[in-house]
Structure 1
Amino acid sequence: MKRISLFLLVIASLFSTKTVFSQLILGPDTLCIGNELQLSTTVTNASTYYWGFCSAYLKNLPAGSSIAAGTGLAGPSSIAMAKDGNHYFVYVVNATAPRNVIRYEFGTSLSNVPLATDLGNFAGSIPVNPKGFELVNTGGNWYGFLTGGATSITSDIIRFDFGNSLSNTPTIVDLGGLVLNPQDLYVFKEANNWYALTNNGFSGNLIRLEFGNSLTNTTPNVVDLGNPGSLSDPSGMWPVFDGTDWHLFLVNRGTDRLTRLDFGTSLLNPAVDNDLGNPSGLLNQPRDISVIRDCGSYYGYITNENSNTMTLLTFNGAVTALPIASDLGNFAGFNGPRYLTRFLRDKDNVFAYTTNNADNSISRLEYNTCSNAAPPISTLQTPPPVTYATPGLYNVYFASDEGLPTMQVDCKLIRVLPHPIIEVNNDTLICQGDTILLVANGPGLFSNLWDPVYNTIAPYDTTSIFIYPKEDYRYNVHLEFTQGGGCAYDTSVFVRVSRITADAGEDRL
């Protein structure tokens, strides 16, 4: 499993499944090399502001590595990641007996080498075949839910009680065999009541656990919702709220197929099944899926346990659009990859982790900031102008009131174009009394303006003007290749006037 259900807005994230985006960043979205980008925000009176002008962009390819995760890994399977205050934690559950739980503390950055602590197996309380794992924060306390087992004897769901910090050693509460062969799970709150969704791994049936108004209820009501249609050995799930409706993506390990369940405005509604098949034939014993949103677009990531690869799903537009699948290959040392964490943004970098069951390692997936912006960051409400060194697409990340309940985040894509081709007269010499045509143009020119207009024939906002200076004069022209001034250039033509009286013939055009 991978998610963390955050019911404290203190830890709100750009990639929270419940985030609804509003326009917090104002300014142009296109400029050219050599031009300055001036942005501002609609947010006022915040305690902190953060701008990242070369932030991680998910249309790029991720980097990855198999990290030195310390001691204790033995057939790692379940994994969950969370940010507690300013510190990041990853918890891993081993599938190999004695099925110990390992805590990884990354400090204040997910790029750090983590400190590993083996918490043991809690007196044998960890179920066999550990699967879905979710961390939940509510009322200032942290809880973890873990599914496992396969048979009627071994099937189990347990709860970790951490208290007020993920750095604490949790206690275990055994909820028993509520579901036969439970798979991944998602814990959520609606109308002041707590619920969890999971699957029966044998039948594929969707199961809802109803905890009532207390997440610590040890006897939740179990509702078998049946198989909506295409679920077969569903092993991983990921919920998405698109601002209006809820959707649940599931990977079917038994059939190498992807399913999307549509619930409408509430996860308590009946599910409508959408069999998305095997996108581009890339799924190969898919184990888990994580879907994230970045700058208004959705991206899905699937671990393929049999081929040691990751599949990227790109949704053009709505999350209900048919995704385009791409093979990312094995870029992070995958070896029997199982469950994924959610993706977390650490300011301008984005991270996720997966367990590698076959070689006892953890793979880190990361989208990193670039170094092409000057300045790279700002902590002012209105940042200074920004310039970019090379053409391309850049992601601007904005956050205000970081770490507070009033935290807001937004992002904006900036397109940086190469220096445009400018066609302009060379400096020239004419005889006094002559008229000459000056031209300033270029492919894709949006507008231009000549100024000053000494002895010039109107109009002055065209690519060419007729001039008849009586003395040496410099004619300046302002060219804009995009609307809004993001690709503006100033140039000039110096015209020298010969005062020799002579008849030069017809005016040169």
Structure 2
Amino acid sequence: MHKHGRAFFFFIGWLLVWASASGQCPQPAFTAPDTVCINGVFNVTNATAGADRYEWDFCSGDLEGTPTFTDLVTLPGANVPTNITTVFDGTNYFAFFFSRNNNHFYRLDFGNHPNNTPSVTNLGLLGALVQQPEPLEFVKEGNNWLALTANSYGNSNLVRLNFGTSLTSVPTVNDLGNFGGRLTRPRGIKVRQDQGNYVAIVTNANDNTLVMINFGATLATVPTTDSVLKTSPFLGTGLELISTAVIQDCNEWVGLTVDRAASRIYRLSFGTALFSLPGVSLLPAQMPSNANLFNVELAYDGGFMAFTEGFSGELHRLNFGVSMTNQAPQVTNLGNFGAMSNTVGLSLIKHEASSSWVGYAISFGLNKVHKFNFPNPCGMLPSAAAAIAQPAAQYSSAGPRSITLTAYGPGGGKSITRSVFVQPRIAVDFTAAGSPPVFTAITSPEDKIVDWEWDFGDGTPVKGASLAHNFPADGDYDVSLTVTGAAKNECGQTASTTKKIGVAGNRILSCPLPSFSLPDTVCINQPFAVTNTTLGASRYEWDFCGVDMGQTPTLQPLATIPQALILTDITTVFDGVNWYGFATSRDNARLYRLSFGNSLSNPPQISDLGYPGNVLFGPEQLKIVKEGNNWYGLLAQYLHSPGLVRLSFGNSLTNLPTFERLTALNGFVRLPRGIALAQDNGQTVALVTNDRDNTLTIINFKNSILNNPTAADVIVTNPMPGVSSGLVGVSVIKECENWYGIATSYAKGLYHLDFGPALWNRPVVTDLTRGYDFPLGPGRAAVTNNNGNYLAFAMLLNGDLLKLDFRQSIAANRPVITKVGE
């Protein structure tokens, strides 16, 4: 062979060896159906080339949403806590941070989910080698956990922590030095594994440089100065570099470094090797000059995202899209959630099982850890295997979804995202009204239905989307509707529903007609039969020992609550076994729980639930609701920082609740004093009385009290007639198919509210004070149905108890108002 031919083939062979050794980036590719069925298992076909490992995210894009905020825990004994870091050990979630000014080391134990309320453990001092530490980064090698920190002031040394096999251990400490003075007030550390080596990137604040330290194959070594690279000082005047984050974009390492002094962000380009001097350029993204950036985090979730926070407490998101080379990331100021300030730590972690992201920030001024949850609407069921080549998946909720595959090979990882629409199965319902009754089908999706078949329970099946039907006699009929979808609807072709319909005079009963018969006289200790002849009902409640609330009640002193300052409200709750009361103490911002056991007649045990500082100010009325297995509360906050506060008790009312201010609603509530909570057609609706302008705010939380309503979910009424302020109490009840309520004002106001068939509605208001002169204005109000009569009660400021007797209808009757006690 010609020598040039041999040289050519030698070059080609060398090129192939070099390409294999350097590791080309995988080319991720997969196919999935454009449309899948809710709760239906579907397969994804992976066609990736050049990968040896896969990660699937069937609900990517969460980080593009607006997170919800929670004040998580207060940190006892901390003095300038900084740089929180989260870790998952395969079973449990942890967070760690140092309290810089007293050198204490803290661990937060979340258990098996990062949304759990953590226990806080102060591990104390780790020895004289740790002096004013700030940054912290964890690595797992084999079965052992190691971490790096740095003394940000003083000797500027790098320090290694060795936890052994458990993150719950107290670590041993080793001083790694400052590598010949190359570390100068190190404020940030990131550790990544690249090409089999651990590389630490340290951010120097004194001389505005980065230091890259190559530990080789194990973090347990002590690198020599030959394994250290240091950049030139970053360009710019008045800099104070403070934090760096890095991420791999295919086989290229890229990063961001933030400057605290002028809120600049620099882009780092390392190329294919992290242990190298990066190219540095100023990112054009404009940040507020007063942001005082302190931290930066990078993550991939259907796109590259960066998050920054700083002394202003504001969280900023930079969306780079599909590539970190994007020169103009979309910048969004997510705000400080009305509570964050002096934040000097930021960490993001993903709960893989639910494909949901949780972030944490730490505030040195408030000595608090804050949590923010990014929305995760997918409802992905756990049949999706996240780390196999050819997974199957299913969704439990409908709507557009994103699937992201990240493929890894010798040269790094690369991601691709595809969209899928989760189609609901056919849903069917119907309405019935009028005389003769007209039945109208309600279906979803409407354009998929080709046949409607009715069975009216009287032997006359009929077809049609809407039709009238004459019933042969009065009575209850089981009416069924079965609809059939077009053949192209792959999510089920039929759906059925059945309702019990009450009919009288060939007219649909909009409200049940209760009726029963029983003997006039019965014998003691002898059973007797009751015959129910009610029409139009689907559920019944019997009370064989009805208490007449029309009688004058007796008063019994119950308990004294120590340390309370102006008790403003008490609400009672039954959890199915035990009774509880919750009382608010306005002027010292405390909440008390009264535990009655199995009867409200028992003397209660009183528990002081404490003072959740910076969240609770001047609490007034609290209402509690149960969703699924968990209990939640909504509280009106009157003084200092007026607004609403959401409480989360978890699965037991004996738990200490977490408190979350709903700051987005602050513009719609004006000195709120009273709250009513009710379920209406699957929606949770809150009614809030506003002292300042005598208006009522009606808030639709939709299908969960955990939702965060927007302006579109809020109604604010006109001021109540007759007075300009002082609206303090509200209570609602449903009569037949319509909602009604009572509102009270300290300024001698008493109002009847007619909401019609939907509680989230602007009510018709009637002033009930005509012809009745109150000695003082009424406070809280409560309305109930007792033995078929609608009664409302209101307490006057002088202690008098008023009774409003609407008799058999709160809709039609003006109440008889009497004083029933003092």
Which residue of 2 is the match for residue 302 of structure 1?
Answer: 308
C-alpha RMSD over aligned residues: 4.0
Alignment equivalent of 2:108, drawn from 104, 113, 120: 104
SS of equivalent residue, structure 1 residue 58: helix
Structure 2 contact 449–486 (Cα < 8 Å) conserved? no
* Shift of residue 21, structure 1, vs aligned partner: 8.1
Q: Partner of 2:481 in structure 1?
A: none
Confirm or deny: 8 A CA contact 1:70 1:115 kept in the other structure. no
Once the two structures are superposed, the pairs formed by residues 99-498 of structure 1 within 5 Å of their partners are 99-128=103-132, 130-150=133-153, 153-178=154-179, 179-218=183-222, 220-221=224-225, 222-227=228-233, 229=235, 232-279=239-286, 281=288, 284-295=291-302, 297-305=303-311, 307-321=312-326, 322-331=328-337, 333-348=339-354, 349-370=356-377, 373=379, 376-378=381-383, 386=395, 388-389=397-398, 391=399, 393-395=400-402, 413-415=419-421, 422=447
The 8 Å contact of residues 38 and 394 in structure 2, kept in 1 or not, is answered as no
| 1:469-489 residue CA offsets vs partner (Å, 9 max, x unmatched) | xxxxxxx9766xxxxx88999
Q: State the distance in 1 between where 2:57 and 2:271 align.
A: 35
Contact 2:242 2:295 survives alignment (8 Å): yes
Measured in 1, the distance between the counterparts of 2:360 and 2:382 equals 26
Q: 1:73 aligns with which of 72, 78, 84?
A: 78
Structure 2 letter corresponding to 1:313: L
Amino acid at match of 1:61: T
Maintained 8 Å contact 1:52/1:376: no
Q: Which amino acid is the alignment partner of residue 314 of structure 1?
A: N
Maintained 8 Å contact 1:301/1:313: yes
The structure whose RCO (Cα within 8 Å, separation 6+) is larger is 1
| Cα distance in 2 between the residues matched to 1:26 and 1:283 | 46
| CA separation of 1:323 and 1:290: change in aligned 2, threshold 3 A | same
**Which 5+ residue runs of structure 2 have no aligned equivalent?**
1-24, 48-53, 407-413, 425-443, 453-484, 495-822
- How many Å separate the matches in 2 of 1:35 and 1:143? 42
Q: Secondary structure at the match of 1:120?
A: strand
Q: For residues 252 and 487 of structure 1, do their structure 2 counterparts lie closer, same or farther at Cα, with a shift above 3 Å needed?
A: farther
1:90 to 86, 91, 95: 95
Counterpart for residue 28 of structure 1: 33
Structure 1, unpaired ranges of 5+: 1-19, 44-48, 400-407, 428-475, 480-484, 491-509
Deviation at 1:173, TM superposition (A): 0.9
In structure 2, the CA distance between the partners of 1:394 and 1:114, relative to structure 1 (3 Å rule), is same
* TM-score normalised by the chain length of structure 2: 0.43
> CA offset at residue 300 of structure 1?
0.9
TM-score (norm 1): 0.67
Query: Where do residues 48-59 of structure 1 align in structure 2 (5 Å cutoff)?
Result: 57-59=62-64
CA distance in 2: counterparts of 1:182 and 1:28, whole angstroms: 50
What's the counterpart of residue 66 of structure 2? Answer: 61
Give the letter aligned to residue 141 of structure 1.
N
Q: 1:303: how far off? A: 0.5
Q: Which is worse superposed, 192-201 or 355-364? A: 192-201
Q: CA deviation at 1:242?
A: 0.6
Post-superposition CA distance 1:293-350 (Å, at most 9, x none): 112x111110121x21100111133111021101100138322111222433342221
How far 1:74 sits from its partner (Å)?
A: 2.8
Structure-1 separation of matches of 2:352 and 2:401: 17
Structure whose CA Rg is larger: 2
CA shift, 1:117, in A, is: 1.4
Q: How many residues align?
A: 396
Query: Is this contact kept in 1: 2:114–2:351, CA < 8 A?
Result: no
What is the CA distance between 1:274 and its match in structure 2? 1.6
